[in-house]
Amino acid sequence: MRNTTNNNRDKQIAMKVSTNSIIVNILLSGFKFFAGFVANSSAMISDAVHSASDVFSTIIVMIGVNISSKEADEEHQYGHERLECVAGIILACILFATGVGIGFSGIEKIFVGSEGSLQVPGKIALVAAIVSILVKEGMYWYTRHAAKKINSGALMADAWHHRSDSLSSVGSFIGIFGARMGFPIFDPLASLIICLFIIKASCDIFKDGINKLIDKSCDVETIEKMKEVIMSQDGVHNIDEIKTRIFGSKIYLDIEISVDGKLRLDKAHDIAENVHNKVESEFPLVKHCMVHVNPVNIERLD
């Protein structure tokens, strides 16, 4: 019941953030298209296309979160959380392609030379670039906060997509400002720097998604905290084994504990049940905790 409630809460948060992202991207891309055409700025028009593409990536996030939050069924008895990792990996690939595209465009302008074909853009393009930087950076922190709150890899990937758009707008601003000052080379140089940031972010997101798909264990600090909680329960004499695996955005835990071998079965079961409930209450990301009881001779230990 607790996991169902948490899943519904996480889904609502993700849907709210994603809906707001779509609305902001539609309004922002429309404004940047307008500014780009009015100011004769190809950089701003390209930036507007980038913002419009973010709508597509957010839709992928919404689909991934919706599917991953489905309850377990006969064919998927452990749930669907890993499908959110798939959505995150897809977004990482889109982010990587975006970075590479910006990088190739910058290299092409540097080596081919585009000084003669550049028009001096109007001031409204600079205003649009500043607005875009502020709005997209704000959306990055807003989405990042929600992603950390619900431990969503797909939402975190979308947050970095906002950051990539913000960086792209920084490049647009530098390029437009440089063109107005008589230095059109500023645009492609900024694009190359932005490209590296975006590619680095996409690789980090891709790695995180892959780790969650292959049952990577929790970090050492989390495991040590789990051990402290387990050993604090009455009747637990030792932790014989503890295994963790990250399944999508959730954690599965397998524990073997030692209890007095002379206890009645129902008493030993109560100890295991207490450990199970305490771990799941102290660590909200734990979807399921399996506790196995090993009997031990307490007198021999003493």
The residue extents of the domains of the chain are 2-213, 220-301
Return the CATH superfamily for domain 2-213.
Answer: Cation efflux protein transmembrane domain (1.20.1510.10)
**What average pLDDT does range 212-237 have in this prediction?**
88
How large is the average pLDDT for residues 195-212? 80
In the prediction, which pLDDT does 187 show? 64
Position 165 scores a pLDDT of 81
Which CATH number fits the domain 220-301, given the four candidates 3.30.70.1350, 3.40.190.10, 3.40.50.460, 3.30.1780.10?
Answer: 3.30.70.1350
Residue 102 pLDDT grade (very low, low, confident, very high; cuts 50, 70, 90): confident
- Single pTM value for the model: 0.63
Give 242-270 pLDDT, tens digit per residue. Answer: 999 887 667 889 999 999 988 999 999 99
Q: What per-residue confidence (pLDDT) applies to 23? A: 93
Q: What is the 3-state secondary structure (H, E, C) of the chain?
A: CHHHHHHHHHHHHHHHHHHHHHHHHHHHHHHHHHHHHHCCCHHHHHHHHHHHHHHHHHHHHHHHHHHHCCCCCCCCCCCCCHHHHHHHHHHHHHHHHHHHHHHHHHHHHHHHCCHHHCCCCCHHHHHHHHHHHHHHHHHHHHHHHHHHHHCCHHHHHHHHHHHHHHHHHHHHHHHHHHHHHCCCCHHHHHHHHHHHHHHHHHHHHHHHHHHHHCCCCCCHHHHHHHHHHHHCCCCCCEEEEEEEEEECCEEEEEEEEEEECCCCHHHHHHHHHHHHHHHHHHCCCEEEEEEEEEEECHHHHC
